[in-house]
Amino acid sequence: MDTQIFRMTPEEIDAQAIKSCAEIIKSGGLVAIPTETVYGLGADATDADAAAKIYAAKGRPSDNPLIIHIAAPEDAERYAHTSPLYYKLAKAFMPGPLTVILPKKDIIPSGVTGGLDTVAVRCPSHKVAHALIEASCVAIAAPSANLSGSPSPTSAEHVIADMNGRIDAIIDGGQCEIGLESTIVKLEGETAIMLRPGAITADALGCVCEKVEIAAAVTELLGENERPLSPGMKYKHYAPAAPLVLLEGEDDAVADFLVAAQSRENCAILGYSEEMPLLNNKNIIDVGARDDLATQAQTLFSALRETNSMSVDVIYAHLPTQNGLGLALYNRLIRAAAHTIKHID
Ligand code: AMP
Ligand code: MG
Tens-place pLDDT, residues 115-126: 999 999 999 999
What pLDDT does 52 receive? 97
Number of the ligand 1 atom closest to the C-alpha atom of 67: 15
Ligand 1 pocket check for 97: Cβ under 6 Å: no
Contact assessment for residue 65 and residue 113, using Cβ atoms and an 8 Å cutoff = yes
Ligand 1 pocket check for 67: Cβ under 6 Å: yes
Please check the confidence at residue 231 and state whether its pLDDT lies above 80. Answer: no
Specify the range with the lowest mean pLDDT, choosing from 32-46, 55-69, 80-94, 227-241: 227-241
Across the chain, mean pLDDT equals 95
What pLDDT does 236 receive? 63
Of 241, 302, 303, 237, which is closest to residue 60 (Cα–Cα)?
237
Domains annotated for the chain, with CATH where assigned, are 4-218 (3.90.870.10), 244-344 (3.40.50.11030)
Nearest protein CA to atom 22 of ligand 1, as residue: 230
What pLDDT does 192 receive? 98
| 28 confidence band (pLDDT: 50, 70, 90) | very high
* 246-291 pLDDT per residue, tens: 999 999 999 999 999 999 999 999 999 999 999 999 999 999 999 9
- Candidates 64, 122, 158: which one to mutate for ligand 1, based on the most atoms within 8 Å of Cβ? 64
* 170-206 pLDDT per residue, tens: 999 999 999 999 999 999 999 999 999 999 999 999 9
For the question of whether the overall pTM of this predicted structure is more than 0.85, the answer is yes
Number of the ligand 1 atom closest to the C-alpha atom of 196: 10
- Distance (Å) from CA 114 to ligand 1 centroid: 9
Please check the confidence at residue 233 and state whether its pLDDT lies above 70. Answer: no
What pLDDT does 234 receive? 64
What pLDDT does 221 receive? 83
Q: Which residues surround ligand 2, an ion (CB under 5 A)?
A: 144
Task: Give Cα separations from 318 to 124, 142, 216, 302 (angstroms).
Answer: 30, 30, 21, 16
β-pair type (118-122, 98-103): antiparallel
Ligand 1 pocket check for 184: Cβ under 6 Å: yes
Task: Tell me the mean pLDDT in the region 120-146.
Answer: 98
Contact assessment for residue 100 and residue 89, using Cβ atoms and an 8 Å cutoff = yes
Task: Give Cα separations from 164 to 39, 155, 291, 305 (angstroms).
Answer: 14, 13, 36, 17
Task: Tell me the mean pLDDT in the region 9-17.
Answer: 97
Please check the confidence at residue 323 and state whether its pLDDT lies above 90. Answer: yes
* 49-102 pLDDT per residue, tens: 999 999 999 998 888 999 999 999 999 999 999 999 999 999 999 999 999 999
Ligand 1 pocket check for 148: Cβ under 6 Å: no
Percent of the chain with pLDDT over 70: 98
- Distance (Å) from CA 148 to ligand 2 centroid: 7
Q: Which ligand is nearest to the CA of 65?
A: 1
- Distance (Å) from CA 331 to ligand 1 centroid: 15
Beta-bridge partners for 213: 193
